[in-house]
Amino acid sequence: MFTLYSMQLSGNSYKVRLLLARLGVPYRLVEVDILKGETRTPEFLAKNPDGHVPLLELEGGHLLAESNAILVYLAEGTRYMPADKLARAEVLRWMFFEQHSHEPAIAAARFWLHLVNGRELRINEIDQWMEQGYAALALMERHLSAHDYFVGDQATVADFALYAHTHVAPEGDFDLSGFPAVNDWLTRVAGEPGHVAMNAISGATTRISLSQA
Ligand SMILES: N[C@@H](CCC(=O)N[C@@H](CS)C(=O)NCC(=O)O)C(=O)O
């Protein structure tokens, strides 16, 4: 069985929980509190030297880091990762876009403005987050005005990668009201079978503590 090191309110962790729920795959869940520094202990750094969740432990003990790498690994051979060479490249294209152009602004704003109430600490970065985040949302809006999903005619891991931080972007001060196609897509993804909310835990999950892991 997989073991997922995750934090409930982390968008990157949520991507993986969302895919596991949609696949109906049971797993063990280890809640890691990044706000208490639990990703920076010697024990955790021995598992992921980059000090981040999510982290997926495979049955053989291999530890796989990086949310989008985990999504690709879990989605291989399922309907969430296409077999066609160009479609696969397009899925990766949107996942790289998410990590380079979307998450660094939208997730950072949510982290500092909502999760840790650190507006004063990051006051000089907010304008740049807003500019970069709204540019990413505008690009998504253009694409989704003509397509129901990022690649092909059904959800892939590109959609889950982008859904995770977009649906909570208002917590980082982003106003989504000017992005109707993005809102329609958020509703479409959330309405599909197997969907779990960020604050929910899928029924197929066994929780264990960090000290037991
Ligand atoms: N590129 C990484 C980013 C992961 C990341 O930033 N994780 C955050 C939570 S969303 C974290 O673990 N922060 C704890 C820390 O930096 O100590 C991924 O997509 O998995």
| Ligand 1 contacts CB of residue 147 (under 6 A) | no
Instruction: Write out 37-102 in H/E/C secondary structure.
Output: CCCCCHHHHHHCCCCCCCEEECCCCCEEECHHHHHHHHHCCCCCCCCCHHHHHHHHHHHHHHHHHH
Considering the domain architecture, whether residues 9 and 69 belong to the same structural domain is answered as yes
pLDDT tens digits, 25-78: 999 999 999 999 999 999 999 999 999 999 999 999 999 999 999 999 999 999
Structural domains counted in the chain: 2
Domain interval for residue 203? 2-79+195-212
Considering the domain architecture, whether residues 165 and 90 belong to the same structural domain is answered as yes
Considering the domain architecture, whether residues 179 and 202 belong to the same structural domain is answered as no
Considering the domain architecture, whether residues 53 and 94 belong to the same structural domain is answered as no
CATH number of the structural domain spanning residue 28:
3.40.30.10
pTM of the model: 0.96
Q: Is 6 helix (H, G, I), strand (E, B) or coil?
A: strand
Considering the domain architecture, whether residues 200 and 185 belong to the same structural domain is answered as no
Considering the domain architecture, whether residues 160 and 201 belong to the same structural domain is answered as no
Residue 13: name the closest of 168, 193, 148, 150 by CA.
Answer: 168
- Looking at the predicted structure, is the pLDDT value of residue 191 above 90? yes
Average predicted confidence (pLDDT) for the chain: 96
pLDDT tens digits, 134-154: 999 999 999 999 999 999 999
Considering the domain architecture, whether residues 54 and 103 belong to the same structural domain is answered as no
Q: How far is the CA of 9 from the centre of ligand 1 (A)?
A: 11
Q: How far is the CA of 137 from the centre of ligand 1 (A)?
A: 21
Considering the domain architecture, whether residues 199 and 161 belong to the same structural domain is answered as no
Considering the domain architecture, whether residues 114 and 166 belong to the same structural domain is answered as yes
- CA 173 → CA 48, 114, 170, 205, distances in Å? 31, 9, 5, 32
The terminus-to-terminus CA distance of the chain in angstroms comes to 13
Considering the domain architecture, whether residues 119 and 140 belong to the same structural domain is answered as yes
Considering the domain architecture, whether residues 37 and 97 belong to the same structural domain is answered as no
Q: Whose CA is nearest to atom 19 of ligand 1?
A: 67
Strands 2-6 and 27-31, bridge-based pairing: parallel
